[in-house]
Structures are given as structure tokens and as C-alpha cells.
Amino acid sequence: MQARKLAYSWHAIYTRSRAEKKLYKELCSRSIECYLPLQKELRQWSDRSKWVEEPLLRSYLFVKVSEREYYDVINSSFAVRYVTFGGKAVSIPEEQIESLRIFLEDENRKVDLSHDNLEKGESVEVVAGPLKGIQGEIIQIRGKNRIVIRFDSLGTCVYTDISLDKIKQVQPVF
């Protein structure tokens, strides 16, 4: 009898307050694939300033699990629950996770987060530059063209500046 191949998919986990890095470290030590989007910020104290890595999405961590690891992840002391819709954990497309990784690879790129319900934009794909291959929406925010990745299940959009000569229109995939 042949063993059934496990299907892995990405899910968002809601973490305890300010415990994203702790949960990430714990899950990595248990060989569970996870992704914690971090962004460097310059923090100012009265006596010094310092660059620190902060989670882009506060209280969220992404995990790629099969049915086998599904409950192991939530049993961590730093995990609260999966992000769900209709009582079932929402699956996040692999392309969105990869696009987010590419957004954050360039430390000099300003990536912004919005919890506002941004207007729907035209579906595009980046065809040149460091963001090549990313698919998202093009919208104007404060007079600048931005490429947006929507995480509807989190009520969040991640966006960054993009030049119109680096994109082409495509049919929506998400």
C-alpha cells in the first residue's frame, strides 16, 4: 500500500502580543516551515538610536503545514489561533507569501501596510527590476503608483512604490 502524500499549505497564525519572534523560533526548532516578515526600523531613544527588526504584520506569523502538523502548531504557548473564515483556517496562496518575501528582500525599499479597505486596482505583473514576477494590483496612493498585495483574510494590504514602465496588465490570479 502506497503512503498518501501530505498536502502542505500556508496559513496565518494569530500570536500572543509581541510573541511573533518567540513563536517563530519555537516552530523552526521543531522543523515546521514558517515565515515571519520583518522590516528594519530606526528606533530613537534619548541616548542613542539603533536599527531593529520588527514584524511587518504585528501578532501574525505564517506557517506551511499539513494536516499532521496543523494541531502541533496551535498547541504552542505563543500561538493563539489560526486565522479562520467560517470556522476553517484560511489558506494563503504560495504566490502571496513569495511576493511578500521579495518585497522585503531589498532593505532599502519602503514597504507600507494598510488596514484600510483600499480601492481595487488593475491586476498587473512586474516585468522588470527587483520585483520581477510579482503579481498584484496597481493603485495610486498619495499621488504615487503603488503595487499592492492583498491579504483579505488578515484585512491587510502590503504595498510599495513601482514605476509604470516596469509592469504589464494581466488577468487576476488571486
Find the CATH number of the domain harbouring 155: 2.30.30.30
1: pLDDT strictly greater than 50: no
Within a domain: residue 116? yes
Q: What was the pLDDT predicted at 173?
A: 58
DSSP letter at 121? -
- Average pLDDT (67-78) is 92
Residues 110 and 84 in one domain: no
The average pLDDT across 98-108 equals 91
Side chain identity at residue 36, one-letter code = L
Residues 26 and 84 both lie in one domain: yes
The tally of domains found in the chain comes to 2
In a domain, 55, yes or no: yes
Q: Specify the pLDDT at position 159.
A: 94
Q: What is the mean pLDDT of the chain?
A: 92
Strands (E), 32-134: 33-35, 38-44, 49-55, 60-65, 79-82, 84-85, 88-89, 91-92, 112-114, 122-126
**Other CB atoms closer than 10 Å to residue 137's CB: what's the count?**
20
Q: How many Cα atoms within 13 Å fall on the side-chain side of residue 127?
A: 8
Cell of 74: 496551535
Is the per-residue pLDDT at 48 higher than 50? yes
How far is 95 from 92, CA to CA, in rounded Å?
Answer: 8
Per-residue confidence (pLDDT) for residue 108, from 0 to 100: 82
In this structure, are 66 and 121 located in the same domain?
A: no
Q: What share of the chain in percent tops pLDDT 70?
A: 96
Answer yes or no: is pLDDT of 10 > 70.
yes
Q: Is residue 100 situated within a structural domain?
A: no
Mean pLDDT over residues 70-99, rounded?
94
Residues 119 and 76 in one domain: no
Q: Is 84 inside a domain boundary? A: yes
In terms of residue numbers, what domain contains 70? 7-92
